[in-house]
Amino acid sequence: MFQPLTPFKWLGILGAIIVMLLLPMVTQDTYLLHVLILAMVFGIFASAWNFVTGFAGLKTFGHHAFFALGAYGSALIGINLGLSAWLTIWLGGLIAALAGLFIGLPILRIRSMPHVAIVTLGFAEIVRITLSNLTDITRGELGLWGIPVFDGFTVPGLGEVVFSPADKVPYYYLAFALLLLSVGVITALMRSKTGLSLIAMRDGEDAAESLGINLTRQKLQVFVVSSFLVGVAGAFYAHYITILTPAAVAGVDLMILIIAMVLVGGLGTLSGPLVGALVLTILVEFLRDLDTFRMLVYGAIIILSVMFLPKGLVTLGRRWKRPPDAAATEAE
Amino acid sequence: MTQQENTPLLDVRSVTMAFGGIVAVRDLSFTVTKGEILALMGPNGAGKTTTFNLIAGALLPTSGQIFFDGRDITQTKPDARCKAGIARTFQITQPFDELTVVENVMVATMPYHSSMSQMRKDARRYVQMVGLAERADVMAKGLSTGQRKRLELARAMATRPKLLLMDEVTGGVDQKSIPGLLDLVKSLRDEGQTLIIIEHNMRVINELSDRAIFMNRGARMVEGTPHEVAGHPQVVDLYLGEGGGHA
């Protein structure tokens, strides 16, 4: 991860970006674009959760709280203050980041990961129950509607860009821009001293601390960055779907879906969460008819991928080649 | 000699560490001066590694004070102690499994460089010093026990410490690698590196250290040159009394 990218990898990244950019010019199929937009929103969420859990090793199961806080925060500011969604999605991110700081502080003192999991999950449940009961503000499970969409604008030479349910293309490009931004931030951090510190902290907290890494600072930083990105993803989702219910954005189902995406794609890798988000979002669409049995299928997917593909889909290619570490160890 | 040179680098004052009712270190005091090599000896459970944990900050003492370089560090956190100049190796090695050997060492060189490539270059130097050059780009989880010990040493050295704590660096290392490790430690000593070593191997202690403290049940039992300590009636008694006699 800390070596310069090979030209082959550069080409792969560039190719993926070009394909994503050209796709809406080939097809404007509303349903296909909708699925891809959701995949990108989940891709941001999965990447940001992987940043905390896969790279920094903090096993948090409450990140859906940040998604919900970003979504409701941005939507409520938009509805009540009349601010543009272009501004409020960042405010939604900030609200989530503040919550991340708030929940990051007690986690600093807990070194046992099962306890971190329970504390964060408990926090997310508090957020869900609060959103569901503050009916005067959020309308509870009836759903918050009337969320403003993104304002249109005019691009010189291209004409007017309008965000409407009928035309998914502008949303598609906006989601893609947010995805690039999020993955770009995480990648840049992971390839810097921060990334080195995080992996050291994950693999040996005591050793990392003895080598001069400030655990407090690293943990807070990773939590704030991650919750900000998840909050922005949630805020985008709010202004895209335009109706929010606590069950949909703050329910534990969402978290389990994200965990499944990251595990299937590859925990602790940069591309894994994106691959997992794409594969599972499409799969979820196929499984839509199963309705309440969906959770059963997610569970089976998590178990199967952990059993047969513990490092995720993105390591498939590497498995076919001879693993260099194993080869070296055997040679010894 | 100036006043500065007279003050000890490390000054441990009446330190006690109790875990509930079990006292792991009892009213321990000692000093280490610059350039000195001190050996901590004693049977298993004597409190040697606990003493290291207290000096490195992994444990905060129940009572007593620790001064380093003239500063009270009793309550200082481990990362700040590292920055102050204390480095340690772990008896039970703690490699960063998913980082390569050289990246493991890069973690320690971070404060000294701004760019990753400079860090990598610097880290390679230390990897080479401990004789792991051939394994530099292998994931740390692929290392043997002996190689892990050397990686611990490379990482600790790369923080450029004023005081280096080495916990059984020769433990678990194959016999033919020990002379190489000894030479390495000797070269550190010749460069003026201050060291505290925990060792069971009497030959290593004799060759390396200026002074030894023999601990038993958390307290200092005997102090002197390695030779004096090894021949002390109480020490001989302790080992022979247990039916060992292997010291």
Which of A273, A265, A251, A247 lies closest to A302, judged by CA? A265
Asked if residue B7 is part of any domain, the answer here is yes
Lowest model confidence (mean pLDDT) among A102-111, B107-116, B155-164, B234-243: B234-243
pLDDT of residue A331 exceeding 70, the answer is no
All residues of chain B having their beta carbon less than 8 Å from the beta carbon of residue A202 are 98
Q: Would you call B96 and A214 a contact, using CB atoms and an 8 Å cutoff?
A: no
All residues of chain B having their beta carbon less than 8 Å from the beta carbon of residue A197 are 107, 110
Find where tokens 């990686």 sit. B151
Looking at chain A, the whole-number percentage of residues with pLDDT higher than 90 is 65
* CA–CA dist A61, A307 (Å, integer): 21
pLDDT tens-place string over residues A226-243: 999 999 999 999 999 999
pLDDT of residue A191 exceeding 70, the answer is yes
Lowest model confidence (mean pLDDT) among B1-10, B126-135, B177-186, B227-236: B1-10
* CA–CA dist B54, B25 (Å, integer): 10
Q: Would you call A2 and B116 a contact, using CB atoms and an 8 Å cutoff?
A: yes
Measured at the CA of B226, the angle between CA B71 and CA B161, to 5 degrees, comes to 35
* CA–CA dist B24, B13 (Å, integer): 16
pLDDT of residue A91 exceeding 70, the answer is yes
Give the model's pLDDT for residue A112.
Answer: 82
Give the model's pLDDT for residue A320.
Answer: 54
Distance from CA of B108 to the nearest CA of A (A): 5
* CA–CA dist A155, A320 (Å, integer): 47
Bridge-based pairing state of the strands A153-155 and B194-198: unpaired
**What average pLDDT score do residues B5-31 get?**
91
All residues of chain A having their beta carbon less than 8 Å from the beta carbon of residue B103 are 2, 196
Confidence of residue B235 (pLDDT cuts 50, 70, 90): confident
pLDDT tens-place string over residues A297-323: 878 888 888 888 888 888 776 655 544
pLDDT tens-place string over residues B43-95: 888 999 999 999 999 999 999 999 999 999 999 999 999 999 999 999 899 99
Asked if residue B37 is part of any domain, the answer here is yes
Give the model's pLDDT for residue A329.
Answer: 40
Asked if residue B15 is part of any domain, the answer here is yes
Give the model's pLDDT for residue B6.
Answer: 67
Looking at chain B, the whole-number percentage of residues with pLDDT higher than 90 is 66
All residues of chain B having their beta carbon less than 8 Å from the beta carbon of residue A209 are 58, 77-79, 82
Bigger pLDDT: A165 vs B10: B10
pLDDT of residue A332 exceeding 50, the answer is no
pLDDT of residue A214 exceeding 70, the answer is yes
CB neighbourhood size of A80 (10 A)? 9
pLDDT of residue B4 exceeding 60, the answer is no
pLDDT of residue B119 exceeding 70, the answer is yes
Find where tokens 């978290």 sit. A255
Give the model's pLDDT for residue A235.
Answer: 97
Looking at chain A, the whole-number percentage of residues with pLDDT higher than 70 is 95
Interface of A with B in 258-317 (CB under 8 A): 268
Bridge-based pairing state of the strands B219-224 and B211-216: antiparallel
Give the residue on A whose Cα is nearest the Cα of B105.
A211
Mean pLDDT of chain B: 89
All residues of chain A having their beta carbon less than 8 Å from the beta carbon of residue B77 are 209
Burial zone of B25 (CB within 10 Å; 0-12 exposed, 13-18 middle, 19+ buried)? buried
Give the model's pLDDT for residue B95.
Answer: 95
DSSP state of A270: S
Does A208 contact B at CB distance below 8 Å? yes
Give the model's pLDDT for residue A322.
Answer: 45
All residues of chain A having their beta carbon less than 8 Å from the beta carbon of residue B120 are 2
C-alpha dist (Å) from residue B137 to A6, A311, B100, B114: 16, 20, 5, 21
Confidence of residue B245 (pLDDT cuts 50, 70, 90): very low
DSSP state of A151: P
* CA–CA dist A23, A14 (Å, integer): 14
Lowest model confidence (mean pLDDT) among A32-41, B70-79, B125-134, B169-178: B169-178
Give yes or no for a contact between B32 and B193, defined as CB atoms under 8 angstroms apart: no
Asked if residue B247 is part of any domain, the answer here is no
The structure tokens listed for A118 are 């329970």
Give the model's pLDDT for residue B1.
Answer: 44
Considering only the beta carbons, identify the residue of B95, B96, B159 that sits closest to A212. Answer: B159
Q: Give SS3 for A26.
A: helix
Q: Would you call A204 and B106 a contact, using CB atoms and an 8 Å cutoff?
A: no
Give the model's pLDDT for residue A319.
Answer: 55
Give the residue on A whose Cα is nearest the Cα of B108.
A211
Instruction: Map out the domains of chain A with their CATH numbers.
Output: 7-331 (1.10.3470)
Give the model's pLDDT for residue A308.
Answer: 85
The structure tokens listed for B218 are 């958390």
Residue A50 CB contacts under 8 Å (≥ 6 apart), including other chains = A262, A267, A268, A269, A272, A273
Q: Among A190, A196, A211, which would you mutate to test the B interface (most chain B Cβ atoms within 10 Å of its Cβ)?
A: A211
Asked if residue B117 is part of any domain, the answer here is yes
DSSP state of A158: T
What is the per-residue burial (b if ≥16 Cβ within 10 Å, else e) of A287-298? beeeeeebeeeb
Q: Terminal CA-to-CA distance of chain A, rounded, Å?
A: 25
B33 lies in which domain range?
Answer: 3-241
C-alpha dist (Å) from residue B20 to B14, B55, B62, B64: 19, 20, 10, 17
All residues of chain A having their beta carbon less than 8 Å from the beta carbon of residue B110 are 193, 196-197, 212
C-alpha dist (Å) from residue B25 to A1, A281, B18, B63, B233: 43, 57, 7, 10, 23
Give yes or no for a contact between A226 and A48, defined as CB atoms under 8 angstroms apart: yes
ipTM associated with this complex: 0.89
Give the residue on B whose Cα is nearest the Cα of A268.
B98
Q: What CATH number corresponds to the domain at position B210?
A: 3.40.50.300
* CA–CA dist A2, B151 (Å, integer): 19
Does A332 contact B at CB distance below 8 Å? yes
All residues of chain B having their beta carbon less than 8 Å from the beta carbon of residue A187 are none
Give the model's pLDDT for residue B2.
Answer: 46
What sections of A147-245 are H helices per DSSP?
A: 169-190, 193-203, 205-210, 215-241
Distance from CA of A304 to the nearest CA of B (A): 24
Residue A307 CB contacts under 8 Å (≥ 6 apart), including other chains = none
Confidence of residue A222 (pLDDT cuts 50, 70, 90): very high
Helix/strand/coil (H, E, C) string of chain B? CCHHHHCCCEEEEEEEEEECCEEEEEEEEEEECCCCEEEEECCCCCCHHHHHHHHHCCCCCCEEEEEECCEECCCCCHHHHHHHCEEECCCCCCCCCCCEHHHHHHHHHHHHCCCHHHHHHHHHHHHHHCCCHHHCCCEHHHCCHHHHHHHHHHHHHHCCCCEEEEECCCCCCCHHHHHHHHHHHHHHHHCCCEEEEECCCHHHHHHHCCEEEEEECCEEEEEECHHHHHHCHHHHHHHHHCCCCCC
Bridge-based pairing state of the strands B10-19 and B22-32: antiparallel
Give the model's pLDDT for residue A318.
Answer: 61
Confidence of residue B241 (pLDDT cuts 50, 70, 90): low
* CA–CA dist A206, A215 (Å, integer): 10
pLDDT tens-place string over residues A156-168: 887 888 888 888 9
Give the model's pLDDT for residue A325.
Answer: 47
**Residue B196: φ, ψ to 5°:** -120, 125
Give yes or no for a contact between A51 and A226, defined as CB atoms under 8 angstroms apart: yes
pLDDT of residue B179 exceeding 90, the answer is no
Give yes or no for a contact between A169 and A34, defined as CB atoms under 8 angstroms apart: no
Residue B152 CB contacts under 8 Å (≥ 6 apart), including other chains = B89, B90, B93, B94, B95, B169
**What average pLDDT score do residues B101-110 get?**
96
Asked if residue B146 is part of any domain, the answer here is yes
**Residue A268: φ, ψ to 5°:** 75, 25
All residues of chain B having their beta carbon less than 8 Å from the beta carbon of residue A328 are 135, 138, 142
Torsion of CA B218, B224, B229, B231, to 10 degrees: -150
pLDDT tens-place string over residues A7-47: 888 999 999 999 999 999 998 888 999 999 999 999 999 99
Give the residue on B whose Cα is nearest the Cα of A214.
B79
* CA–CA dist B54, B16 (Å, integer): 10
Q: Would you call A206 and B78 a contact, using CB atoms and an 8 Å cutoff?
A: yes
All residues of chain A having their beta carbon less than 8 Å from the beta carbon of residue B104 are 200
- Residues of B with a Cβ under 8 Å from any A Cβ are 56-58, 77-79, 82-83, 87-88, 90, 94-99, 103-104, 106-108, 110-111, 116, 119-120, 135, 138-139, 141-142, 144, 155-156, 159
pLDDT tens-place string over residues A247-288: 999 999 899 999 999 999 999 999 999 999 999 999 888 887
Single-letter amino acid, residue A171:
Y
Number of domains composing chain B: 1
Residue A192 CB contacts under 8 Å (≥ 6 apart), including other chains = B116
Stated pTM of the model: 0.89
Give the model's pLDDT for residue B115.
Answer: 92
CB neighbourhood size of A169 (10 A)? 16
Give the model's pLDDT for residue B3.
Answer: 47
Confidence of residue B204 (pLDDT cuts 50, 70, 90): confident
Asked if residue B246 is part of any domain, the answer here is no
* Beta carbon pairs, A and B, within 8 Å: 88
Give the residue on B whose Cα is nearest the Cα of A269.
B98
Give the model's pLDDT for residue B242.
Answer: 56
